[in-house]
């Protein structure tokens, strides 16, 4: 199970499918009887994009009988629900920083749906078309952010420090960084550069929630698999190989003085009582077991996900 990858563009809005698929995941999660996340804007964002793909926005009564295209997206929505909640919980834990930077913000609506402390400032960085589309839809919905929201169009595979400073970022203040669903879309060198900037721009008291990219498995038939994937997606082999060996955020942040914790997808499944399956008979009896506690038969060992790093600079 993976999020749709590549640089597929929606014809009308020029939106990356990845950003839209994640919003669809949050809409589906919101519609569930026991939602981990309530994102009242996700469905409207998906509908406004007028995608030619039939993206689900509602959890169906019989998910195993959903159309074949929708099934992987429904499965992905289970992961997206947990990922969103995990980062929501992180943002609302401890003492929030006055400044938050969301790198690769996509159609994330936390600036509108979370409780922010007085004076909080959120800087969202993504490509201009994504930010413009979101601002347009949110304004049509008359949605007001609960913080000062700054949209910063920038290409994170290029230097972006000066743009962030010019947008009002204060490197002398502690920052909360969010890197959710971003690193898998950058090559290894750009990932290293982004994480290096996070470290370089952080004052003591800063913290970060980072979704890791997955290293491509080093098996004998990897070349053949890459070639097949390249043919299917149109991504050149050179680009795939550039992503093959992503840096470990922990190895970059710890030497810069950060205290890091890692969290597997299985841990999230245990924490939030979810199973990565469309089959209701796989559901656990109760939500909220301890991290790491997973029944042996549960299909939660998702090797296509890299898990998360949470980190603090004291
Ligand atoms: C999978 S989406 C995740 C969006 C958001 N964090 C969420 O969870 O809803 C990845 C986002 O990263 C953005 N992105 C990818 N490469 C980027 C780059 N080089 N510069 C800026 N944004 C980028 C995409 O435009 C997209 O919105």
Residue nearest to atom 9 of ligand 1 (CA): 108
Q: CA-to-CA distance for 176 and 308, rounded, in angstroms?
A: 15
* 258 within 8 A of 199, measured Cβ to Cβ: yes
Which secondary structure element, helix H or strand E, spans residue 71, and what is its range? helix 70-91
* 91 within 8 A of 100, measured Cβ to Cβ: yes
Domain 17-212+248-313: give its CATH superfamily. Vaccinia Virus protein VP39 (3.40.50.150)
- The strands making up 121-126's β-sheet, listed across from edge to edge, are 148-153, 121-126, 99-103, 175-179, 207-211, 308-313, 258-263
- DSSP symbol at 199: H
Q: Along the 314 residues of the chain, how does pLDDT read in single tens digits?
A: 333 333 344 444 578 889 999 999 999 999 999 999 999 999 999 999 998 888 999 999 999 999 988 899 999 999 999 999 999 999 999 889 999 999 999 999 999 999 999 999 999 999 999 999 999 999 999 999 999 999 999 999 999 999 999 999 999 999 999 999 999 999 999 999 999 999 999 999 999 999 999 887 666 677 777 787 777 767 777 777 777 789 999 999 999 999 999 999 999 999 999 999 998 777 665 544 443 334 444 556 666 678 999 999 99
Q: Which residue has the tokens 């994102």?
A: 39
At 301 the pLDDT is 63
List the structure tokens of 33. Answer: 């009887």
Which atom of ligand 1 lies closest to the CA of 80?
A: 8
Dihedral over Cα of 88, 94, 98, 101: its sign? negative
Q: From the CA of 232, how far away is ligand 1's center (Å)?
A: 22
Q: CA-to-CA distance for 24 and 111, rounded, in angstroms?
A: 18
């Amino acid at each position: 199970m993976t999020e749709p990858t590549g640089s597929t563009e929606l014809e009308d809005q020029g939106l990356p499918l990845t950003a839209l698929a994640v919003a669809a995941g949050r809409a589906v999660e919101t519609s569930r009887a026991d939602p981990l996340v309530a994102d009242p804007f996700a469905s409207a964002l998906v509908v406004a994009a007028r995608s030619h793909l039939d993206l689900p926005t509602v959890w169906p009564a019989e998910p195993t009988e959903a159309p074949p295209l929708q099934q992987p997206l429904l499965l992905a929505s289970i992961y997206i629900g947990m990922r969103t909640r995990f980062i929501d919980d992180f943002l609302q834990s401890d003492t929030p920083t006055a400044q938050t930077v969301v790198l690769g913000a996509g159609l994330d609506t936390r600036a509108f749906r979370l409780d922010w402390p007085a004076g909080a400032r959120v800087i969202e960085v993504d490509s201009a078309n994504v930010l413009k589309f979101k601002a347009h839809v949110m304004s049509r919905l008359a949605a007001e952010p609960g913080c000062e929201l700054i949209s910063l169009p920038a290409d994170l595979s290029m230097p972006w420090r000066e743009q962030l400073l010019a947008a009002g970022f204060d490197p002398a203040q502690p920052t909360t960084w969010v890197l959710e669903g971003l690193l898998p879309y950058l090559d290894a060198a750009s990932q290293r550069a982004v994480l290096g900037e996070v470290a370089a721009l952080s004052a003591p008291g800063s913290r970060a929630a980072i979704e890791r990219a997955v290293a491509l498995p080093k098996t004998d038939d990897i070349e053949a698999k890459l070639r097949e994937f390249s043919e299917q997606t149109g991504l050149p082999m050179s680009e795939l190989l550039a992503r093959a060996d992503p840096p470990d955020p922990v190895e970059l942040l710890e030497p810069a003085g950060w205290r890091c914790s890692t969290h597997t997808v299985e841990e999230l499944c245990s924490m939030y009582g979810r199973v990565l399956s469309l089959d209701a008979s796989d559901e656990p009896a109760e939500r909220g077991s301890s991290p790491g506690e997973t029944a042996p038969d549960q299909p939660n060992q998702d090797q296509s996900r890299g898990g998360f790093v949470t980190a603090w600079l004291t």
